[in-house]
Structures are given as structure tokens and as C-alpha cells.
Amino acid sequence: MAGRAVVARGGVSAMAGAAPLKGADSGTWSAGTVAETPSSRVTVGGSPVLHQASCSFTFTGKAGQTVVGGASTVTLTATAGGLLADGKGVLLDGDSAQDEYGNTLTAGSSAALRSR
């Protein structure tokens, strides 16, 4: 059984959720830029592997006729007990995190370096 590939810089994607912010009747979420925490020592194909990623999502909508706005941050961290680099966990292909509104971060990779 093959392990999961490690995730390098640029390997985390953000997808905006569909559920409205609490108190809002309607609206939309939008994803900001994914902020990545790379390894300082381990690279795959010239790109550093990632320990963590986070993204701030912003909501714009309405509650009745009142404009409503808000934000939610989703943080994706490496699974405990997984592969380590720099003494910290490394994100692996398929890792994901989601908030209560459905805003999601997903790690994807086909790198040659894999967990066991």
C-alpha cells in the first residue's frame, strides 16, 4: 500500500462555502489568499514542503434589508503522528479542514516523497 504524497508550496487550495453567516438570510463567501507555512529544510522538486496553511474567508450578505459582513479563518495543520520535517508535521495529499459555513482548505499533491 502506497503512502500519501507530501504537499509542497502551492499545493493547498481554498473553496468558499455556501452556508450564510449566522444572522444573515443570504450572501456569499469569498476566499482570500492561502498563507502557507513552509519547511525551512525539506523540499520536493525544489519547493518546500508545508507544515500548515490558512485562509481568511469574507462574507457579504443581508439580514432582511440590512447589509451583513463577516469573516472566518480556516487553518489546515498536519495530522499528529504523521511525517515530520524540521521536527514538525507535514501536510499530506488529501488533508483538509472546514469551518461551520463550508469554507474549505484542501491539500493536494502527487509528489514522489510519500508517508508510510
- Mean pLDDT, the chain, whole residue set: 92
Per-residue pLDDT at 4: 87
Distance CA 23, CA 101 (A): 12
Per-residue pLDDT at 21: 97
Residue 84 belongs to some domain of the structure? yes
Q: What is the mean pLDDT of residues 39-51?
A: 92
Task: Please count the structural domains in the chain.
Answer: 1
Domain limits for position 21 = 12-101
Distance CA 94, CA 53 (A): 13
Residue 51 belongs to some domain of the structure? yes
Residue 48 belongs to some domain of the structure? yes
More confident position, 92 or 2: 92
pLDDT tens per residue across span 67-100: 999 999 999 999 876 788 888 999 999 999 999 9
